[in-house]
């Protein structure tokens, strides 16, 4: 007896907004060209560190995962990715709490929000920061 009709597919989608005031303050403080450079470098670092977080989770290297997630917080805050910073805090908390199931769930959310945030910021590149 097949019960495939009882399988529910959940589509995970979250609205991610960038803090444009934070980006504006960065541009006012550094100038447009320097702010754009900071944002581009931050985007690269975020992408690299999110990938590293995933690798560290697969390796079950909890200390390094917590450290890497913590490093995401400051970078995300700097360029107005408040949701990403908040979820990176959740990953750090669950990792330090020794809960691998919660860590896996929050890490999946971190990667999802990170992807949405980077895409959103990438699309803003045509707009003056």
pLDDT in tens, 39-74: 999 999 999 999 999 999 999 999 999 999 999 999
Model confidence at 8, pLDDT cuts 50, 70, 90, reads low
Would you say residue 59 lies in a domain?
A: yes
Would you say residue 9 lies in a domain?
A: no
Q: CA-CA distance, 88 to 71, in Å (whole number)?
A: 9
Would you say residue 36 lies in a domain?
A: yes
The rounded mean pLDDT for the chain is 88
Contact in structure between 65 and 103 (CB atoms under 8 Å): yes
Domain count, the chain: 1
Please give the residue range of the domain that contains residue 27.
18-124
Lowest average pLDDT, out of 20-29, 89-98, 103-112, goes to 20-29
pTM attached to this predicted model: 0.82
Would you say residue 95 lies in a domain?
A: yes
Cβ atoms < 10 Å from Cβ of 31:
11
Would you say residue 48 lies in a domain?
A: yes
Would you say residue 4 lies in a domain?
A: no
CATH of the domain at 38: 1.20.120
14: closest CA among 80, 70, 82? 82
Residue 129: predicted pLDDT: 46
Phi, psi of 49 (to 5 degrees): -70, -35
Would you say residue 6 lies in a domain?
A: no
- Mean pLDDT along residues 105-126: 86
- pLDDT tens sequence across 72-95: 999 999 999 999 999 999 999 999
């Amino acid at each position: 007896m097949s019960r495939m009709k009882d399988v529910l597919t959940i589509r995970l989608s979250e609205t991610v907004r960038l803090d444009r005031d934070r980006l504006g303050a960065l541009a006012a403080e550094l100038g447009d060209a320097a702010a754009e450079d900071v944002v581009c470098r931050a985007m690269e670092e975020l992408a690299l560190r999110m990938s590293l977080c995933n690798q560290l989770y697969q390796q079950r290297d909890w200390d390094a995962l917590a450290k890497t997630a913590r490093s995401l917080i400051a970078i995300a805050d700097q360029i107005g990715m408040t949701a990403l910073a908040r979820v990176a805090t959740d990953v750090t908390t669950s990792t330090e709490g020794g809960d691998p199931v919660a860590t896996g769930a929050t890490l999946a959310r971190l990667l999802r929000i990170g992807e949405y945030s980077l895409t959103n910021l990438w699309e803003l590149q045509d707009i003056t920061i």
